[in-house]
Amino acid sequence: MTTPVIILNGASSSGKSGIVRCLQSVLPDPWLTFGCDSFVDALPARMRAADGGIVFDADGGVSVGEDFRALEAAWAEGIVAMARAGARIVVDDVFLGGAASQQRWRKALGDLPALWVGVHCDPTVAAGREIARGDRTLGMAAQQARMVHEGVAYDLEIDTTHTESLECARVIAARVSRIGGPGRVASAG
């Protein structure tokens, strides 16, 4: 038996999206993926740079308002509904609120089991990836590197600083296929 939901949390440019694509390749069954980037892209344009929506500051900071939180809760409930209907789901998220963000997911999940994966990356390395991507506000990766993990409890932690996405995905896939208590892996390498 496998868990129906895998939730990856890590800062911007920490390597989550690459891991997710590799997970879809190495996991034996089909898994759908949903990421916070797609959620943000689906928001009405007027919610970007609005007090109730999401604001990306010039220094890389991100703040969200009540309208954003309401839609985010509905998005999470929809993802959980798909998992309850039999889909296997991988979520690529950035817990801007640390433990409070995880608590919102726990509320949406209810009794549905999930594998909680912390994706870490040295802030300097993530900042280099951020520059190479060219689609992020510079400074976002460094600002989020530690705050997204504050107070968050994980079943598994990986570090992408020197470990490729495929190897990280294999570590996660091995954990998904195992039955047993939570464990901690400091590095996938």
pLDDT in tens, 91-134: 999 999 999 999 999 999 999 999 999 999 999 998 888 888 76
pLDDT of residue 2: 61
Record the pTM.
0.89
Indicate the pairing of strand 5-10 with strand 89-93.
Answer: parallel
> Per-residue pLDDT for 186 more than 80?
no
Q: Which residues are catalytic?
A: 37
Average pLDDT over residues 134-162: 90
Res 90 pLDDT > 90: yes
Mean pLDDT of 51-74: 89
Euclidean distance between CA atoms 72 and 66, whole angstroms: 10
